[in-house]
Amino acid sequence: MRWGLGKFGRVISGRNCTQWMWPCTTTSFHGLGVPWISSENPRRSDELSAFADMKFNVDNMKIIQLGIALSYENGIIAGTWEFNFKFLIETELFFSNMFTHVLSRHRDLKWLTFHGLYDLAYMVKLVTKKPLPVSMLDFTEIIATVFGCCVLDVKYMARFYDDLHRGELGLEKLAKILGVKRIGGSHQAGSDSLLTARVFARMKTMYGIEESRFVGFLYGVTTRICEPVRTQVLPTFPRCCEPGIPQLCQVLPASRYCQPMIHGVFLHPPIIQHQYRVL
């Protein structure tokens, strides 16, 4: 399960990667925990506090393990990798550059996670090499920019099914309910990513899950992952309706826009209008 980064890079960068529609990712990391309190809106405060804690932890700590399982649309596992980071700058830079190359080539991948707020945060940090943004909205936009909008969280999906305890269970207990056996040791990133992929495949089979209902939602986060809409603003130029020709609107050249003055009085001051039509 532990392959070198070089071999992983050659495999996942290959042309067959587009067939592996579901990269499932998990991470292992140290945690800290910082107090952050707001009393304006208790429910919203909980989410803001969780994000503030996560940002502090991710910005100040390093990832220990990264697990990636690739599966086909029908649930068949194509391969599983586990990377153990040794806190070497060269290793992180190599992985960051390699992963950025993969993401740029394969924008149609669908990403799967389980309670994946921290997992995605650490991967965003690896790719961007920057601290996390200061707001949840900006963070979800960066996720969409890096991974695309097709991100699903298995724990979030379990919230909508009573016999799955509405998402209150961890990955191990959820797998037992669904009859999915773990391969490898618990709390190992590679084994967790493989188990998450198999749990998702079983849920799709048992419940006929419509993926579109859950795309872009993470467990414990109200802000949906979606790419920001950038509206193009075209510049408008000042127009002048000359007093002598009221029916004609024309663009003023720079020399005409700065109207001359005689004895301190403007000659024919222009009428500036940004919405106009030629009569």
Residues 6+ apart with CB under 8 A from 92: 85, 126
* SS3 label, residue 167: helix
- Looking at the DSSP bridge assignments, the partners of residue 250 are 240
Average pLDDT of the segment spanning 140-155? 92
What CATH number is given for 5-213 in this structure?
3.30.420.10
Across 2-11, 118-127, 144-153, least confident range = 2-11
* Unique residue bearing structure tokens 């097709």: 150
Q: How confident is the model at residue 277 (pLDDT cuts 50, 70, 90)?
A: very low
Sheet holding 151-153, edge to edge: 77-84, 63-71, 22-29, 111-113, 151-153
The dihedral region occupied by 83, where left means phi > 0, alpha psi between -120 and 50, and beta the remainder, is: beta
Please give the backbone phi and psi of residue 258, each rounded to the nearest 5 degrees, phi first: -85, 95
- Looking at the DSSP bridge assignments, the partners of residue 67 are 26, 82
Which residue, among 32, 27, 29, 26, has the nearest Cα to 57 in the 3D structure?
Answer: 32
Tell me if 68 sits within 8 A of 102, measured CB to CB: no
Between β-strands 249-251 and 22-29, what pairing exists: parallel, antiparallel or unpaired?
Answer: unpaired
Q: How confident is the model at residue 233 (pLDDT cuts 50, 70, 90)?
A: low
Give the pLDDT of residue 194: 95
What pLDDT digit, counting tens, does each position of 34-93 carry? 544 433 443 445 788 889 999 999 999 888 888 989 888 888 898 888 888 776 666 667
Give the pLDDT of residue 2: 42
Question: Distance between CA atoms of 164 and 159, rounded to whole angstroms?
Answer: 7
Average pLDDT of the chain to the nearest whole number: 76
* SS3 label, residue 25: strand
Is the pLDDT at 214 greater than 60? The verdict is: yes
Domain boundaries, the chain: 5-213, 233-279
